[in-house]
């Protein structure tokens, strides 16, 4: 009895695991492209998972759809465009470079450039000021330095 419960439970509750053998395309080159695309497509009902990783049935549907489009002769970009058309930009894990996403894409390079400019400006501004403060030694200091060096 317990064994039956176990088997039933496992069959009912078992997650369908990410990419399944029956989904895979016979052509290895095409399959490799499908996998690469899948890694960039979000499983819409999951939390931050790509359809390549996800166990959800919707992810499976999308994986099959990607393979269908590839078999039909679409390029990688065409497949992604097709998905965006159907499901919106939400489906892309790597947002497109567009005006609305510019802040996201440019945040890193812009922060780097601004940082560099600030550092250079700060260094320039500080140098004359700091050098001015580095006063020449007084006679007393020179005498003591002489003592230390030659003493």
Partner 1 sequence: MIVELGHFALTLAFAVALFQAVVPLVGAGRGWADWMRAAAPAAVMQFLLIGFAFAALVHAFVTLDFSVRIVAEHSNSQIPVLYRVSGTWGNHEGSMLLLVLILALFGATVAAFGRDLPLGLKARALSVQSMIAAAFTAFILFTSNPFDRLSPAPLDGNDLNPLLQDIGLAIHPPFLYLGYVGLSMVFSFAVAALIEGKVDAAWARWVRPWTLMAWVMLTIGIALGSYWAYYELGWGGWWFWDPVENASFMPWLVAGALLHSAIVVEKRNALKAWTILLAILAFSLSLVGIFIVRSGVLTSVHAFANDPARGVFILAILGVTIIGSLTLFAWRAPAMRSEGLFQPVSREGGLILNNLLLAVAAAVVFTGTLAPLVREFIDGAKISVGAPFFELAFTPFMVLVIVAMPLGSLLPWKRGDLGRVMARLWWAAAAALALGGVVWGLQSGEALLAPVGLALAAWLILGVFVEIGARIGLPRASPGTALGRLVRLPRADWGKFLAHGGFGLSVMGIAAVTAWEVEDIRLASPGESYMLGGYEIHFDSVSDGQGPNYLYQRGHFTVFRDGEVVAVMEPEKRLYPVQGQPTTEAAIDMGLTRDLYLVLGDKQTTGDAWVVRAYLKPLANWIWLGALVMAIGGLVSLTDRRYRVGAAARRARPAPVAAE
Task: Provide the binding-site residues for partner 1, judged by CB under 8 A.
Answer: 2-3, 6-7, 9-11, 13-22, 24, 39-40, 42, 47-50, 53, 88-95, 100-101, 103-105, 107-108, 111-112, 115-116, 119, 123, 126-127, 130-131, 134
**Residue 134: is it exposed, middle or buried by C-beta count within 10 angstroms (0-12/13-18/19+)?**
exposed
Nearer to partner 1, 13 or 73 (CB): 13
Q: Can you tell me the distance from the alpha carbon of 149 to that of 143, in angstroms, rounded to the nearest whole number?
A: 10
CB 70 to partner 1: min, Å: 18
User: Of the candidates 83, 13, 3, which has an alpha carbon nearest to the alpha carbon of residue 55?
Assistant: 13
CB 120 to partner 1: min, Å: 8
Q: Can you tell me the distance from the alpha carbon of 46 to that of 39, in angstroms, rounded to the nearest whole number?
A: 14
Q: Can you tell me the distance from the alpha carbon of 123 to that of 112, in angstroms, rounded to the nearest whole number?
A: 16
Nearer to partner 1, 10 or 138 (CB): 10
CB 139 to partner 1: min, Å: 24
């Amino acid at each position: 009895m317990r064994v039956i419960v176990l088997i039933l439970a496992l069959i009912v509750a078992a997650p369908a695991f990410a990419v399944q053998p029956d989904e895979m395309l016979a052509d290895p080159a095409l399959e490799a492209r499908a996998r690469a695309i899948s890694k960039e497509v979000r499983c819409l009902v999951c939390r931050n998972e790509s359809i390549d990783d996800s166990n959800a049935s919707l992810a499976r549907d999308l994986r099959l759809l990607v393979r269908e489009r590839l078999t039909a002769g679409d390029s990688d970009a065409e497949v992604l465009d097709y998905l965006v058309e159907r499901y919106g930009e939400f489906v892309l894990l790597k947002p497109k470079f567009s005006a609305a996403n510019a802040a996201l894409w440019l945040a890193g390079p812009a922060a780097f450039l601004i940082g560099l400019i600030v550092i250079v400006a700060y260094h320039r501004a500080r140098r004359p000021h700091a050098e001015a403060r580095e006063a020449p030694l007084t006679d007393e200091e020179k005498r003591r330095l002489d003592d230390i060096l030659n003493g």
